[in-house]
Amino acid sequence: MEIQQYEPYHEPEVIDGPMRLRESGEQLDILKALASDTRLRIVKLLRTKRNTAERGLDISSLASMLGQTEANISAQCKRLEKVGLIKIEYKPGGHGVRKICQVDFTAVELLLD
């Protein structure tokens, strides 16, 4: 049995503005991640929860709201986290650990040079 230790929860820094993408490789990765209707809907839902007490939604809530399985939503959120669009934090839950997904930006801007 493997025991995982998670970092203690720290209040994330809130960016009160857009996420600015400068590098063309970074832009392409972000655009590919947002090309999925499901992932785009996840980001939009999470943006509406930025100012709530928990500042996000857990995987179960997202799955319920989007009418999809928790496994699929978890995989989609991992993809969004990989490109930096969302943050995933682990918090204690009723039956284990809850994955809380959050965004900390108001918009995404592509800067074309």
Residue 40 belongs to domain with CATH number: 1.10.10.10
CA distance 36 to 28: 13
Residue 40 within a domain: yes
Q: How many domains does the chain have?
A: 1
Q: Is residue 4 part of a domain?
A: no
Mean of the pLDDT values across residues 92-99?
A: 82
What does DSSP say about strands 96-102 and 107-110: parallel, antiparallel, or unpaired?
Answer: unpaired
DSSP 57-109: EEHHHHHHHHT--HHHHHHHHHHHHHTTS-EEEEEEETTEEEEEEE---SEEE
Asked if residue 28 belongs to a domain, the reply is yes
pLDDT tens sequence across 21-63:
666 677 888 889 999 999 999 999 999 887 676 789 999 999 9
Q: Which domain holds residue 76?
A: 18-108
Confidence of residue 82 (pLDDT cuts 50, 70, 90): very high
pLDDT above 50: residue 14: no
Q: What's residue 23's pLDDT? A: 62
Phi, psi of 34 (to 5 degrees): -85, -5
The pTM of the full predicted model, rounded to 2 decimals, is 0.74
Q: Are strands 87-93 and 96-102 parallel, antiparallel or unpaired?
A: antiparallel
Ramachandran angles phi, psi of 108, nearest 5°: -120, 125
With left for phi above 0 and alpha for psi between -120 and 50, is residue 44 left, alpha or beta?
Answer: alpha
How far is it, in rounded angstroms, from Cα 20 to Cα 41? 20
pLDDT confidence of residue 109: 77
